[in-house]
Structures are given as C-alpha cells and as structure tokens.
Amino acid sequence: MNQKKILVIEDEKTISDIVKFNLTKEGYIVDTAFDGEEGLQKTYSMNPDLILLDIMLPKLDGFQVCKKIRESLNTPVIMLTAKEEEVDKVLGLELGADDYITKPFGMRELIARVKANMRRIDLSNQHESTNGKILDFGILTIDLNRYEVKKHDTVIELTLREFELLKYLAEQESQVFSREQLLEEVWGYEYYGDIRTVDVTVRRLREKIEDNSSEPQYIMTKRGIGYYFRRP
C-alpha cells in the first residue's frame, strides 16, 4: 500500500505531537513544521498528500501560507481554527482551504476528517486511471479523465474539491441536491460537516465558471432546498 504523507503546520508542540502520534498510528507518514515559512518550505520539498494548517503561526500566518500554497498546488488543506472569528475568515476570505476543524478537536474527529479528504484523493486517482469522458456543455467542458475544466477553450483552475462538486452536479444535470447531501457525497462526511462549507465552495465555483456569479447560468440555487447544475 502506498503510504500517504501529511504535513502538520502547527506551532504548539503539544498539539503537533499528539496529532503526529495519532496520524502515524493510522498509517500515515507525518512531518511537522512549526512556523509558516518552514511549513511552506516543507510543502514544496515533501509534496504532501494533505496539509493540516494552523492559523496563528509565527513568521507567516495560516492565511498567508494557504494563499501561497494555492498559487501552485491543489493539495487538500485543512485549516485548524481556534475561534469562531477565524472560521468566518476561513470561509469568508475564500483562500482555497478545503476544510477546517475547530480547536479544541478530538482525535477521532480529526482522523475522520483526514480520511474523508484522503478518500477524495483516492477517488480522483482512480478516475485518472480509468477511461474518463468529457462532459460537454457547449462553451463549458469538464474532462473527467484529466480533471480539467475549460470555458471557451481556456483552462479554469479549480481546487480538487471545487472540481468534485462541479463534476457531481454536472453528472446529474438538473437534479437538485440539498447541502447535506452534497456534504455527504462530495465531502464524504457523515457527522462532522458544516453546510456553510458547501455554500462557500459553490460561491467560489461560480466566481470561476460563471460570466456573472450573481446571475449564474450553470450552478443554480433551488431556494430552500439546495443546488443543481443546468445546461444554459
């Protein structure tokens, strides 16, 4: 079995130690960084499969680190937040974090989140090795094999999670899904999700694929229910 690598960027040694201990026990290869700069260096040198990123960090804070990572990588990032204001910021700033977990968190919750995020990576790798197809919506195309979305023949950069959400909705054109359903199907949560995550990801996706994100043509809102994909 190919062991997955996790980078933990967290300056509090007690938290870092216990997280490392527990994730190692789950079979992951874990490395740690104790400030933002070291975190970025290790992100590039180790190329982890997933990153756990604290927000309050010396040198560069978690927001800056996440932004930097997103300039070149779509590695899943789970932010570790200590306060409700940070949650709002994680969601509001649209940094490209895939998920967040609020401190203090239990190890079971953390491991469940990590596994859910890793499962998405496995699924996308499986798709790469099978014969994918291209969903063609005229000027918008979704290449399931190459994980590539194009509009007017220009590639649109999406995070893995944004892609997964778009793919899920587009493959089941016109079908309406509740936020809870999307959280379970696209994020893979059973108990721990926050439905705001779905709204934020939809918003980001609209900003990237729609001509005008406040008047979407593809990702539609069904008031009081959820979202669906429509061929314009």
* Residues making contact with Ca ion (CB under 5 A): 11, 54, 56
User: Residue 39 or residue 188: which is nearer to Ca ion going by CB?
Assistant: 39
Q: How far is the CB of 113 from Ca ion (least distance, A)?
A: 18
- Burial class of residue 72 (count of CB atoms within 10 Å of its CB; 0-12, 13-18, 19+): exposed
| b/e code 22-45 from CB counts within 10 Å (16+ = b) | bbeeeebebebbbbbbbbbebbee
Residue number with the shortest CB distance to Ca ion? 56
Q: How far is the CB of 106 from Ca ion (least distance, A)?
A: 18
User: Residue 56 or residue 160: which is nearer to Ca ion going by CB?
Assistant: 56
- In degrees and rounded to multiples of 5, residue 20 shows phi and psi of -60, -45
Look-up of token digits 């200590």: 82
Q: How far is the CB of 57 from Ca ion (least distance, A)?
A: 6
- DSSP 8-state code for residue 145: T
User: Residue 56 or residue 156: which is nearer to Ca ion going by CB?
Assistant: 56
User: Among the residues of 53-159, which ranges form H helices?
Assistant: 62-72, 84-93, 107-129
User: Residue 16 or residue 75: which is nearer to Ca ion going by CB?
Assistant: 16
Q: How many residues does the chain have?
A: 232
Q: How far is the CB of 63 from Ca ion (least distance, A)?
A: 12
User: Residue 54 or residue 98: which is nearer to Ca ion going by CB?
Assistant: 54
Q: How far is the CB of 47 from Ca ion (least distance, A)?
A: 24
